[in-house]
Amino acid sequence: MRISQLNPRTKRIQDGLKEGLFLSGRFSYIGFGPPHIHMFGLNARPAARAGINIDIGPISFGAEVSAPSSGTNLDDVGGSALVWPAGLIQSVGLAQNANQPRLFEIGTDRHYTLRGRSLGQIGVSAIEFDGPSLLRKAYAGFSDTRTGGSIEALYPNDYYVDRDVPGEGGLADHPVEVSPGYENGWINMASDVFERPAGALIVLKDSAMQVHTAVYAESCHIPSHNLRWDAAGTVITSGVSLQFERLVPVRVAPVRPLTSQIR
């Protein structure tokens, strides 16, 4: 649409929008998994692992893999769940910023803007229920049963395993020395469990349940955690912030792009 054709009485600014199709928290999901997205194919053969193409749809969310994805045969990846879907989430916020230093020069008011590194974090709040606490959900795939340890993963996976074989198996970890808590009640951030990274998958769908955006936050660490309750409250809530190393967009079924634009 040309600027000369804009008419606030008869036309909308952006053509092509379908009424009733919108993004909402009702159709969004967050799940926690391994530190890196390539670990979805951790136990696949090296040739297959190099060709893994994560695809929302063929790869199920929080359930066992049941169909092949383009680029590899998921039978080679295994039958483990990919991420743990986090329930009772009340809010999710994703924020990113980049350092933008400005370079000035003597003799002019003009300046140059340089592109620096980008940083980001995710904030998550949830209602605590008689199940895994929010800290436990963030490390749902983690397990450590060595040297008398009693931490078991919330779902079957091969990301954290008790072995250290170069090029094989999962993340090589030393045994946990400081307990984060017991069973579902993780609350101690001084635990060395949190020295290990985790990962988070965010999926946004529209009201027709079409995937609009999906992204995997890699190498997440938790710098803060809070637990809140009060005398008049009915439930106890908790919140965590996750600082990620990078975001990896996940391939989704394409939604028809809008081509109309102001010229």
pLDDT tens string, the chain, 263 residues long: the values are 678 888 888 888 877 788 888 999 999 999 998 888 877 654 443 433 433 344 443 334 443 333 333 333 333 334 445 788 899 999 999 999 999 999 999 999 999 999 999 999 999 999 998 899 999 999 998 888 665 567 888 887 766 654 444 444 445 556 788 889 988 999 999 998 999 899 999 999 889 888 888 899 999 999 999 999 999 999 999 999 999 999 988 876 554 444 444 43
In a domain, 1, yes or no: no
Q: Which residue is it, tokens 């929080």?
A: 62
Check: CB of residue 195 under 8 Å from CB of residue 135. no
Amino acid of residue 203 = V
For the entire predicted model, the pTM comes to 0.78
The predicted pLDDT at position 163 comes to: 47
In a domain, 236, yes or no: yes
In a domain, 5, yes or no: no
DSSP letter, residue 87: P
Reading the block at residue 134, the tokens are 């929010």
Pick from 133, 144, 138, 145: which is nearest to 83 by CA?
Answer: 138
In a domain, 4, yes or no: no
CA distance 82 to 11: 46
Quote the distance between the C-alpha of residue 95 and its chain's center: 13
Instruction: Determine the structural domain holding residue 157 and report its residue range.
Output: 22-249
Quote the distance between the C-alpha of residue 164 and its chain's center: 26
The predicted pLDDT at position 55 comes to: 42
CA contacts within 13 A on the Cβ side of 81: 17
In a domain, 7, yes or no: no
The predicted pLDDT at position 4 comes to: 81
Pick from 138, 137, 128, 130: which is nearest to 237 by CA?
Answer: 128
What SS3 class is residue 135? helix
The predicted pLDDT at position 31 comes to: 92
- Buried b / exposed e along 160-197 (16+ C-beta atoms within 10 A): bbeeeeeeebbbebeebeeebeeeeebeeeebebbebb
In a domain, 176, yes or no: yes
In a domain, 15, yes or no: no
DSSP letter, residue 189: T
CA distance 137 to 222: 12
The predicted pLDDT at position 262 comes to: 42
The predicted pLDDT at position 119 comes to: 94
Backbone dihedral region for residue 259 (phi beyond 0: left; psi -120 to 50: alpha; all else: beta) = alpha
In a domain, 59, yes or no: yes
Looking at the structure of the chain, the number of domains it has is 1
The predicted pLDDT at position 101 comes to: 93
Pick from 113, 78, 109: which is nearest to 99 by CA?
Answer: 113
The predicted pLDDT at position 210 comes to: 84
